[in-house]
Amino acid sequence: MIEPDSYSYPRYLNAKRSVDARALNRQVWTDFLEALPDDSSSLRILEVGGGVGATFERVVEALDETRHHSLWYTLVDREQDNIQAARQHVFKWGREQGYQVSSTEDGIRLSDSHFDVRLTLVKDDVYRYAEESKTAVFDVVIAQAVLDLFDLSNVLSSLRPLLTSGGLWYLPIHFDGVTGFEPMVSSQLDEKIERLYHNSMTPDSSGEGPRAYTGRRLFTALHQMDNEVLSAGSSDWVVFPRGNEYPNEEAYFLHHSLHFIEEELSDHSEIDSNDFPRWIETRRQQIDHGELIYIAHQMDVLAKKK
């Protein structure tokens, strides 16, 4: 796949579905499902930064034919394009799964003979939603690959009042400071680009350190707010070709990942103005030829509010 003429964030989110599916830590996921409350036929979940609905679909698949007869799921995302894409994908996916699917005033309803799912789609900023939803009470808060965009302590503090006592935090795929590309272009240039890209992930206002290390910082941040970490493990992205081709839409995922780096580091004073464009072009050619390998280290964390 040659470099696309334009970039779409909803397309990127869809392209990384297969990457995320491989990356998710199976033990943490299993522990999450086993930790869900078993004394209620209804489950209430809030997902922030819910994107195009991939995690919602994964949760519904796991909970179907379980002890829960109904699921109330609120998906919050600040981008209208993501909300629209989520509506379209979930509507199509629900029908493919055999559910009766209907539009509601604020989302979508999926139902069959034993399971009733109400999905509420909310276009809003996380902080504003938390501030305006103080009376909302959820059994679970999910945030996948999103908390490293925020001041970690601030966003967790804002969301914590929305959880019931004993409620769960399921926080998968949070970046933890390693980005790697193979084959090597230049050891010094590769190292410099990785370092500067991580440094571009602005330190948060709490002074706790760069957001590039959000994965490991989840442990301390959750503990300091009186939450108990129940399970944790790595959830690394590993993207590589099979027979010189990438599965699914993963070539687009790679192109868009390079696009993020290009946006951050173009015209950076510490990189030679000729070296960086050549590095980007070399990496894009490696994608086109089915040669590029991409690795990013991340963490999944499951915790409980005390």
Q: Which residues pair with 108 in a beta bridge?
A: 103, 119
Mean predicted confidence (pLDDT) in 2-13: 89
Give the three-class secondary structure for 25: coil
Encode pLDDT of 190-238 as tens digits.
Answer: 999 999 999 888 655 555 556 889 999 999 999 999 999 999 999 999 9
- Residue written as tokens 């999944």? 300
Closest CA to 189 of 115, 272, 129, 121: 272
Asked if residues 175 and 257 have their Cβ atoms less than 8 Å apart, the reply is no
What CA–CA distance (Å, rounded) separates 303 from 306? 9
What pTM did the predictor assign? 0.93
What CA–CA distance (Å, rounded) separates 123 from 6? 24
- Note whether residue 281 is domain-resident: no
Q: For 225, which DSSP code?
A: T
Instruction: Domain count for the chain, please give it.
Output: 1
Q: For 203, which DSSP code?
A: P
Asked if residues 49 and 170 have their Cβ atoms less than 8 Å apart, the reply is no
Asked if residues 266 and 280 have their Cβ atoms less than 8 Å apart, the reply is no
Mean predicted confidence (pLDDT) in 158-178: 96
- Please state, as a whole number, how many other Cβ atoms lie within 10 Å of the Cβ of residue 288: 14
Q: What per-residue confidence (pLDDT) applies to 204?
A: 52
Q: What per-residue confidence (pLDDT) applies to 40?
A: 66
Q: What per-residue confidence (pLDDT) applies to 136?
A: 75
Give 189's pLDDT tier (boundaries 50, 70, 90).
very high
Closest CA to 90 of 124, 134, 57: 57
- Note whether residue 224 is domain-resident: yes
Give 29's pLDDT tier (boundaries 50, 70, 90).
very high
| Exposure of 47 in the CB half-sphere (CA atoms within 13 A) | 27
The more confidently predicted of residues 33 and 66 is 33
- Note whether residue 216 is domain-resident: yes
Q: What per-residue confidence (pLDDT) applies to 206?
A: 53
Asked if residues 10 and 253 have their Cβ atoms less than 8 Å apart, the reply is no
- Note whether residue 63 is domain-resident: yes
What CA–CA distance (Å, rounded) separates 190 from 276? 10
Least confident of 64-78, 143-157, 248-262, 274-288: 64-78
Give 280's pLDDT tier (boundaries 50, 70, 90).
very high
Closest CA to 147 of 264, 298, 21, 297: 298
- Note whether residue 101 is domain-resident: yes
- Note whether residue 229 is domain-resident: yes
- Note whether residue 27 is domain-resident: yes
Q: Is the pLDDT of residue 243 over 70?
A: yes
Does an H or E element contain 198, and which?
Answer: helix 187-199
Phi, psi of 185 (to 5 degrees): -95, -55
pLDDT cut 90: percent of the chain above it: 85
The more confidently predicted of residues 66 and 244 is 244
Q: Is the pLDDT of residue 248 over 80?
A: yes
Q: How far is CA 103 from CA 44, 45, 110, 152, in A?
A: 19, 19, 9, 35
Asked if residues 112 and 97 have their Cβ atoms less than 8 Å apart, the reply is no
Mean predicted confidence (pLDDT) in 1-14: 89
- Note whether residue 260 is domain-resident: no
Range of the domain at 114: 9-177+202-238+297-305
Domain with residue 147: its CATH number is 3.40.50.150
Nearest-5° Cα angle at 28, 27 to 32: 115
Maximal C-alpha separation, the chain: 63
What CA–CA distance (Å, rounded) separates 80 from 92? 19
The two three-digit tokens of residue 255, written as one number: 């192109």
Q: What per-residue confidence (pLDDT) applies to 41?
A: 72
